[in-house]
């Protein structure tokens, strides 16, 4: 706590030692990255429930994983009712194909990336669209990524947020489209 004392600006930011119960606080935003990777799926789901129950009104939990440099990541946004969206984000110039991001899926999805599961179908569709947009590679990987995501949007995948994020290598889809069955 002493190390961050100079950066505290209450009541906007407060640092406390605690666990998934969020140290008794009622935050409006919790970011938990690379925390639940080592947990089994049931324990990770319980951690989601515990953190979401502690959120303040209108609060969100953003839980996911990323590589060491933050160039490949995936996260789920949740509110007190549960998961809302899945976001994939990458430095697209480092991708061979979008499904390379599968290794960064949150615990709730990573073991469900198998044929017949919605998240697998989403990644497969994104790979197919990526391959179809290969001709745009001459203009750079961002244009190729954007075209791939536009193709999926045209197929009816329920994307959330602005398409401006696509050119930055990010796409957000409704949880209902990728949730395990």
Model pLDDT, residue 161? 92
Q: Which residues of 76-92 are buried (b: 16+ CB within 10 A; e: fewer)?
A: bbbebeebbbbbbbbbb
Q: Which residues of 14-50 are buried (b: 16+ CB within 10 A; e: fewer)?
A: eeeeeebebeeeebeebebeebbeeeeeeebeebbee
Q: Give 34 or 4, the one with higher predicted confidence.
A: 34
**Per-residue pLDDT reduced to its tens digit, 37-53:** 899 999 999 999 999 99
**Per-residue pLDDT reduced to its tens digit, 68-100:** 988 999 999 999 999 999 999 999 999 999 999
The token pair that represents 131 in the structure block: 């391959």
**Per-residue pLDDT reduced to its tens digit, 119-168:** 999 999 999 999 999 999 999 999 999 999 999 999 999 999 989 999 99
């Amino acid at each position: 706590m002493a190390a961050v004392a100079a950066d505290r600006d209450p009541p906007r930011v407060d640092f406390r030692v605690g666990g998934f119960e969020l140290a008794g606080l009622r935050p409006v935003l919790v970011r938990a990255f690379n925390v639940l990777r080592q947990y089994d799926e049931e324990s990770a789901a319980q951690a989601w429930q515990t953190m979401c129950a502690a959120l303040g009104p209108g609060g969100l939990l953003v839980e996911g994983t990323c590589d060491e440099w933050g160039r490949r990541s995936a996260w789920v946004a949740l509110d007190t009712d549960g998961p809302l969206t899945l976001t994939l984000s990458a430095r697209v110039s480092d991708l061979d194909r979008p499904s390379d991001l599968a290794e960064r899926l949150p615990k709730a999805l990573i073991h469900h990336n198998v044929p017949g599961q919605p998240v697998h179908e989403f990644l497969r569709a994104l790979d197919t669209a990526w391959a179809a947009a290969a001709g745009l590679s001459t203009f750079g990987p961002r244009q190729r990524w954007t075209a791939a995501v536009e193709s999926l949007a045209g197929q009816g995948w329920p994307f959330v947020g602005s398409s401006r994020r696509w050119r930055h290598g990010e796409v957000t889809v409704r949880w209902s489209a990728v949730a395990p069955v």
